[in-house]
C-alpha cells in the first residue's frame, strides 16, 4: 500500500492516529519538503515516529516517483505531506503513476491552511478561490492574483492568499553554470506581501484593494501550539492593509505566513471575533461598519 499522509500544520503531534499507524508500519517513509514546512526540524519527527525520514524534493516527487513507489505493491510505503495530501496537482501526479503501476493508494487527510484559515473567525463558506502571491523581482511582477481577488470581491467573498515559498532555488549564476548549489530557503512574510499588494493596487489602480479601506487578517504559523524556542506560536493580526503595512515585521514572527483579504459578505460576529487581534480596534470596527456596511452592536 502507498500511503500519502497529511501531517497537519505545526509539529510531530499533528499527525492523526491513523497516519501514525501507517508511518510505523512502513518500510520507507518520505517527507515532502517543498510545498510547505512544519514548525519543527525533521529530527523531531523522526524521534517521535520512530522512523528515519527520506527527504523528497520536487524533482524526486515529480520526476522520480517510481523510486518512491518501488515495491509499494508488496510492502507499505508512506509519503508525508505537510498539511493535507491533495489540493495541488503536484501530488495527484504520483497517485496517477501508482494507479498505472497497479499499486493501491490510501490518502490520510489532515488539516491544511485551506480549512485551518477558519481560526480567524471568518466563515469558510464565504471564501472564494484561493490565490498564490509570488515574490516580485525588479523585472517580474506577475499580478494575475489581482484579477482573482477582484472576482472574489465582486461576489463579496473573502480571499486566502498563500505566500510564496522558495526552496532549493539556484541563483542565476549557479543555474547558468549548472552548479547544484542552492540558495537558503525564503518564505514570503506579511510585510512583503502587503507591500506587493499596495504596489499592484497602485499600478492597476482599480480600487479593488484600497489600503486604507480594505480589511485583512494576517495569519502566522496557523495551528502553532508548541513553537520553536524564541518564537511565538500561532499569531493573528487584523486591520486595514495600511495597518498591517505599518506593523513591525517582528509582530508576525517566523514563517509560514498567509493573508486573508476580507470580502463584503461579513457577519457582525466575524467582525467581533477578529477584533480581538486588531492593530486598532476602533478603526477595525469603523471600517467594518462604514465601508463594509456591517451592522455592529
Burial of 295 (0-12, 13-18, 19+ CB in 10 A): exposed
Q: Determine how β-strand 165-166 pairs with β-strand 186-187.
A: antiparallel
Phi and psi (nearest 5°) for 82? Answer: -65, 135
Among positions 249-268, residues that touch a copy of itself (CB under 8 A) are 267
Residue (51 or 191) nearer to a copy of itself, CB:
51
Write each residue from 101 to 140 as x if it is in contact with a copy of itself (CB under 8 A), else as -, in one continuous string: -----xxxxxxx-xxx-xx-x-xxxxxxxxxx--------
How far apart (Å, rounded) are the C-alpha atoms in residues 267 and 297? Answer: 12
H/E run at residue 114: helix 113-116
Assess 201 for contact with a copy of itself (CB under 8 A): no
Residue (17 or 282) nearer to a copy of itself, CB:
17
Assess 290 for contact with a copy of itself (CB under 8 A): no
Question: In which residue are the cell numbers 489532515 written?
Answer: 110
- Sole window of 29-37, 57-65, 207-215, 272-280 interacting with a copy of itself (rule: CB under 8 A): 272-280
Among positions 53-92, residues that touch a copy of itself (CB under 8 A) are 84-89, 92
Assess 272 for contact with a copy of itself (CB under 8 A): yes
How far apart (Å, rounded) are the C-alpha atoms in residues 273 and 190? Answer: 21
Residue (222 or 294) nearer to a copy of itself, CB:
222
Phi-psi region of 227 (alpha: psi -120 to 50; beta: other; left: phi over 0): beta
Assess 227 for contact with a copy of itself (CB under 8 A): no
Residue (20 or 245) nearer to a copy of itself, CB:
20
Residue (132 or 213) nearer to a copy of itself, CB:
132
Cα dihedral value 21, 26, 32, 37, nearest 10: 30
Site for a copy of itself (CB under 8 A): how many residues? 59
User: Computed from CA positions of residues 117, 122, 125, 126, in that sequence, does the dihedral angle turn out positive or negative?
Assistant: negative
Applying CB under 8 A, the residues found at the interface with a copy of itself are: 6, 8-10, 12-18, 20-21, 84-89, 92-93, 95-96, 99, 106-112, 114-116, 118-119, 121, 123-132, 151, 155, 157, 222-223, 225, 267, 269-270, 272-273, 276
Amino acid at each position: 500500500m502507498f500511503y500519502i499522509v497529511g501531517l497537519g500544520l505545526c509539529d510531530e503531534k499533528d499527525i492523526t492516529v491513523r497516519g501514525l499507524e501507517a508511518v510505523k508500519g512502513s518500510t520507507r517513509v518520505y517527507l515532502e519538503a517543498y510545498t510547505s514546512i512544519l514548525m519543527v526540524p525533521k529530527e523531531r519527527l523522526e524521534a517521535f515516529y520512530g522512523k528515519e525520514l527520506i527527504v523528497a524534493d520536487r524533482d524526486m516527487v515529480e520526476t522520480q516517483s517510481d523510486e518512491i513507489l518501488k515495491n509499494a505493491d508488496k510492502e507499505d510505503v508512506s509519503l508525508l505531506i505537510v498539511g493535507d495530501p491533495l489540493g495541488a496537482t503536484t501530488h495527484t501526479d504520483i497517485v496517477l503513476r501508482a494507479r498505472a503501476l497497479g499499486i493501491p493508494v490510501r490518502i490520510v487527510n489532515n488539516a491544511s491552511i485551506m480549512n485551518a484559515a477558519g481560526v480567524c473567525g471568518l466563515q469558510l463558506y464565504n471564501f472564494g478561490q484561493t490565490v498564490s502571491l509570488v515574490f516580485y523581482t525588479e523585472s517580474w511582477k506577475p499580478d494575475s492574483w489581482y484579477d482573482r481577488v477582484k472576482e472574489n470581491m465582486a461576489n463579496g467573498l473573502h480571499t486566502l492568499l498563500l505566500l510564496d515559498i522558495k526552496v532549493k532555488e539556484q541563483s542565476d549564476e549557479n543555474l547558468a553554470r549548472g552548479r547544484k548549489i542552492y540558495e537558503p530557503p525564503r518564505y514570503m512574510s506579511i510585510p512583503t506581501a502587503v507591500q506587493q499588494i499596495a504596489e499592484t493596487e497602485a499600478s492597476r489602480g482599480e480600487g479593488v484593494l484600497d489600503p486604507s479601506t480594505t480589511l485583512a487578517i494576517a495569519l502566522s504559523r496557523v495551528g502553532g501550539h508548541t513553537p520553536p524556542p524564541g518564537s511565538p506560536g500561532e499569531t493573528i493580526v487584523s486591520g486595514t492593509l495600511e495597518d498591517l503595512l505599518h506593523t513591525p515585521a517582528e509582530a508576525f514572527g517566523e514563517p509560514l505566513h498567509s493573508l486573508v483579504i476580507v470580502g463584503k459578505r461579513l457577519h457582525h460576529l466575524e467582525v467581533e471575533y477578529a477584533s480581538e487581534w486588531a492593530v486598532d480596534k476602533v478603526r477595525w470596527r469603523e471600517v467594518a461598519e462604514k465601508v463594509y456596511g456591517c451592522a455592529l452592536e
